[in-house]
Structure 1
Amino acid sequence: MSTPKWKIKGIVDDFDKCGCCGRRGLKRTVALMPLDADGNEDGTAEDVAYYGTSCAAAALGWTQGKVTDTARAAQAGRDQRDAYARRVISIYAPVEDAPVRDRARVYYGRNQHLRDTGVKATEEVAKLLAKARATLADTTTGPARPSRIEDFRRHIVILARDERIYLVRRVPEDEIERQEQAAAAQRRADEIRGSVLVVAALDAEAAREVAYADALTREWNAKAWQAAHA
């Protein structure tokens, strides 16, 4: 069996022209990364080709159904990596320039099994952030995604009495709407004997991660938001 020349990276909505036959007006295209003779990826985002499903199937020697299923699975994988990257950045970017002691407390607080193992928290935080930013900067199947503290958005989080998250909502930009949301959230928290937090993050799922984090992490999260919007 010959080695495939392409690897499916995902489904793309931004390109409506097939890079193989030239057909235009496609609803979506399949992102194909070229492979070398050993089957390893041989290029960057600039080398990716975007084919319609029928041309992608011909190029790979597959059925269109297999191409579609593989492309969807690849895209789902990228979405999961993006979600993890947003959580990493929302937790660790605010402490990136914090004192070493605080960075260590935040990192080891989340990775207690690595305490006293020789793993340096500052180095690990830097590695995690670099990888997360690279993930969100990858343009193989779409434009780069937000990854800076300036891209954080505030989210209001209602915690139930047992500290489980009851509700997460993005805080509106409009001041009157913010006040109304805050009042409604506090009323609901009082009804369930819970509490209200406001945290900053790249999305709602990352906001959940911040809300569940320790007090020091949330303290630096608030400082980073304030500094970015001073």
Structure 2
Amino acid sequence: MPISKWKIKGIVDGFDECGCCGRRGLKRTVAMMPLDADGNEDGTAEDVVYYGTSCAATSLSWTQDKVTTTARATQAERDQRDAYARRMLSIYAPVESAPVRDKARVYYGHNHSQRDTGVKATEEVAKLLDKARATLADATTGPARPSRIEDFRRYVVISTSDDRISLVRRVPEEEAERQEQAAAAQRRADKIQGRLQVVAALAAESARDVAYADDLTREWNVKAWQAAHA
């Protein structure tokens, strides 16, 4: 069986023109990476083409349904990798320049099984951050996503008395709205006898991880936010 010349990387709505037939106004296009003779990816994001599902199906000798299903599944996998990358950055980027002792406490606090195994926390944190940043910088199916501490946003997190997260809301930019939200959040926390926190993260799901983290992780989270907005 001949090796395909293309690999589907995802499905996007940022390109509405087929790079094969030139048709415009498409609701979605399929991102495809060229492959070499051995079936390995042969290019970078700049070499990716965006085809309509019909042209993609013709190029791959597939049905349109198979193209759409594969593209959606691939895009979902990428979205999951992005979410994981945001989690890693939200937790570990604030301690990137922290003293080694604090960095180790944060890392081992999230990776209990690696304590006393010879795994060096400083090296592992660096690897996690490098991989996370590379993931979010991948422009295969769209522009690079935010990955800097300066890109963090603050979130109000309310936890119940048994430590289950009840609410996560992004803090508004306007001062009046912030005050109104803070008052409402405190009333809700008091009503359920819960805990109110404000944490910084790249996304709401990442804010949950920071809120659930240990005190030292949250302490460095606050320091990083303040330093980035000094």
TM-score after normalising by structure 1: 0.98
- SS in structure 2 at match of 1:81: helix
The letter of the residue matching 1:101 is R
- After TM superposition, the structure 1 stretch with the greater mean CA deviation from structure 2, 202-211 or 18-27, is 18-27
- SS in structure 1 at match of 2:104: helix
Corresponding residue pairs, total: 230
Q: Does 1:153 align with 2:153?
A: yes
Aligned counterpart, 1:23: 23
Structure 2 Cα separation of the partners of residues 39 and 205 of structure 1 = 36
Q: Percent identity?
A: 81
The letter of the residue matching 2:77 is G
The 5-angstrom pairing of residues 94-133 of structure 1 reads 94-133=94-133
Structure 1 Cα separation of the partners of residues 79 and 18 of structure 2 = 23
The letter of the residue matching 1:216 is L
Structure 1 Cα separation of the partners of residues 229 and 78 of structure 2 = 30
Q: Give the alignment's Cα RMSD to 1 decimal.
A: 0.7
Q: By how many angstroms is 1:43 displaced?
A: 1.1
- SS in structure 2 at match of 1:91: helix
Q: Tell me, which stretches of 5 or more residues in structure 1 are unaligned?
A: none
Q: Which deviations, in whole Å up to 9, do the C-alpha atoms of 1:9-46 show, x marking residues without a partner?
A: 00121212111112122121100011112211111101
Q: Which deviations, in whole Å up to 9, do the C-alpha atoms of 1:104-151 show, x marking residues without a partner?
A: 000000001111111110000000000000000010000110000000
The letter of the residue matching 1:175 is E
Q: Tell me, which stretches of 5 or more residues in structure 2 are unaligned?
A: none
Structure 1 Cα separation of the partners of residues 159 and 14 of structure 2 = 39
Aligned counterpart, 2:32: 32
Q: Which runs of 4 or more aligned residues in structure 1 lie more than 6 Å from their structure 2 counterparts after TM superposition?
A: none
Aligned counterpart, 2:140: 140
Structure 2 Cα separation of the partners of residues 142 and 101 of structure 1 = 38
Q: Does 1:207 align with 2:207?
A: yes
- SS in structure 2 at match of 1:185: helix
Q: By how many angstroms is 1:101 displaced?
A: 0.5
Q: By how many angstroms is 1:158 displaced?
A: 0.5
Aligned counterpart, 2:227: 227
The letter of the residue matching 1:69 is T
